[in-house]
Chain A
């Protein structure tokens, strides 16, 4: 229990810290921000001075931060100048779509990396392993921007798959099954890019972790007892490799979240990515801070889940924190 509390406290610290950082950066050139808004014809002079007063631009940063933090804790992420509505509901819909994409990609990439990693770790150095290493090296070399754009160029002419957006025209009239199918088809390209960009690194690390676990002496003993290969792998080897693998899981979430921003923009997937970009270009301050905070929340939550998983999986950690 203490472990859970400690990690929770750590996660909270990270979120607070990130919010402070984000807020701090936003105040690096506060004058510029509101000055640039003056050039924006959509915002009238009265609106501007009202905004300046409301956001207390002239007050010290600490005061503004506390006020803002208080609002955030109540679920109020501020106000979007571009959309003229509160930020939070705008972000939530987009966040849901990003989670859908990133979540699916995470699932798929691990479903591929684990078996492939175990398989090649068993055949370390043999031709199949070497071939797989070369294939992943090729994937590693292609930057995700090139991959995303390349796939688009290839697919756009053939028309097999939709090349943008999340839903087709007339989505609301579709039956439930058709709706699912439609979204799934739209997900194919972005998920493929995400998986292809994250797989090489993950695979390499899984392979290394499993290879190391395979060398443990206790395995020989288990083999000598006549335990089947499959049981050995999944009941003995993987748990031994759990520690680095679970840390890797947390790392993979970060990579995929970062990757998803670009992929969403290129493939016009309506997630946090394009929304954030739009907000940046429109100088929509609170949307940007809110977006950064939300993505950090996902990352921190993912890592926290990984920590919990680790706690459950690795008895050494339990012993370390409860008794002596």
Chain B
């Protein structure tokens, strides 16, 4: 398969994944905020095709779970109550892209008895639904953060490379400073000095802003390099020869040369920034409850008893993997083989 078609396949798969996340409400069987205090930390329910009497069913079903009489956290299946899986059910209300209200879900089990395909958390909320909705928050943070970083890097790199002189010196020295700090410490320091107890939406924006501002130095240096070499190309000189202004040169000739680098950087940065959001939220500095994000879904694992007894609370950590794979493959396809060896390009540690 040629690189071009591989690229198309990769983009298509990633696009499908993102589309799925955008329609999280459709794919999630339950309302992520719906609590059920009677079923805290319920383990994942298994789908069965064969019932207790050995009969085969085409439609998979689940057995209801109830707490065992003598314990407070062990569940057992109630073989008497079988709940079949239904497709295109009417369930909890959700809004697509925050606007369009819908009630149809891809699959569901009816809303009289709770069903947890990935288990439930301490408040009895369905983990699967929370993972899907959490994906929206984490991915959005990564995407917007990457957009912000690349925009800042583009502006700084263009100014430094095109006009040079003292602006270039100053900007590159500042960039060096930002690169000198281990990035997580920078992230934390920035987050530290901003207000901590903030409502979820504001916290989300704060997190995105912090993530976006931290990483501009490396893209800025790359853009600057490209601008410096593009400036000397003859077609730029020719345009100057007919009286083109600096702004025109940047806009029509020089900055288009940066597009491939920016795209590659985007593919590398998005997963890194999703990870940054996950780290911040996991440690309590990011998106707070009750808004789900992959990071804060993992936060309960900091408690020893959760770590030991409720292994399914780890599953959100794996939700990131398909996206990570997609973005990494995309990045390496975009980079091609020549640039894969430069330190300034690859790497998962910024």
- Interface residue ranges, A against B (CB under 8 Å): 13-14, 17-18, 21-22, 25-26, 28-29, 32-33, 36, 137, 140-143, 145-146, 149-150, 152-153, 156-157, 163-164, 197-198, 200-201, 204-205, 208-209, 212, 244, 247-248, 251, 254-255, 257-259, 261-262, 265-266, 276-277, 279-281, 283, 288-289, 291-292, 295-296, 299-300, 303
In the complex the two chains form, is B324's CB within 8 Å of A143's CB? yes
Q: Taking the complex as formed, is B185 at the interface, i.e. its CB lies under 8 A from any CB of chain A?
A: yes
Report whether over half of chain B's contact residues are helix, strand or loop; otherwise say mixed. helix
In the complex the two chains form, is A141's CB within 8 Å of B325's CB? yes
Report the nearest B residue to A296, measured CB to CB: B181
| Residues in B whose Cβ lies below 8 Å from that of A296 | 180-182, 185
**Contact among A26, A33, A280 with B188 in the assembled complex (CB-CB below 8 Å):** A280
| Residues in A whose Cβ lies below 8 Å from that of B192 | 279-280, 288
Highest count of chain B CB atoms <10 Å: which of A28, A208, A209: A208
**Contact among A251, A257, A303 with B343 in the assembled complex (CB-CB below 8 Å):** A251
| Residues in A whose Cβ lies below 8 Å from that of B302 | 266
The 4 closest A-B pairs by CB, nearest first: A255-B349, A208-B341, A146-B317, A280-B192
In the complex the two chains form, is A280's CB within 8 Å of B307's CB? no
> Interface size on B (CB < 8 Å)?
53
Which segment of B37-45, B117-125, B245-253, B274-282 sits at the interface?
Answer: B274-282
CB < 8 Å A-B pair total? 159
In the complex the two chains form, is B347's CB within 8 Å of A201's CB? yes
In the complex the two chains form, is B180's CB within 8 Å of A14's CB? yes
Could you mark each residue 171-204 of chain B with 1 if its beta carbon is under 8 Å from any beta carbon of chain A, else 0?
Answer: 0011011101111111011111111100000000
| Residues in A whose Cβ lies below 8 Å from that of B159 | none
Known contacts A146-B318, A257-B182; is-contact A288 B173 (Cβ 8 Å): no
Report whether over half of chain A's contact residues are helix, strand or loop; otherwise say mixed. helix
In the complex the two chains form, is B193's CB within 8 Å of A156's CB? no
Q: Report Cα–Cα, A152/B181, bound state, in Å.
A: 29
Highest count of chain A CB atoms <10 Å: which of B180, B279, B324, B343: B180
Could you mark each residue 314-341 of chain B with 1 if its beta carbon is under 8 Å from any beta carbon of chain A, else 0?
Answer: 1001101100110010000000000011
| Residues in B whose Cβ lies below 8 Å from that of A137 | 328
Report the nearest B residue to A142, measured CB to CB: B321
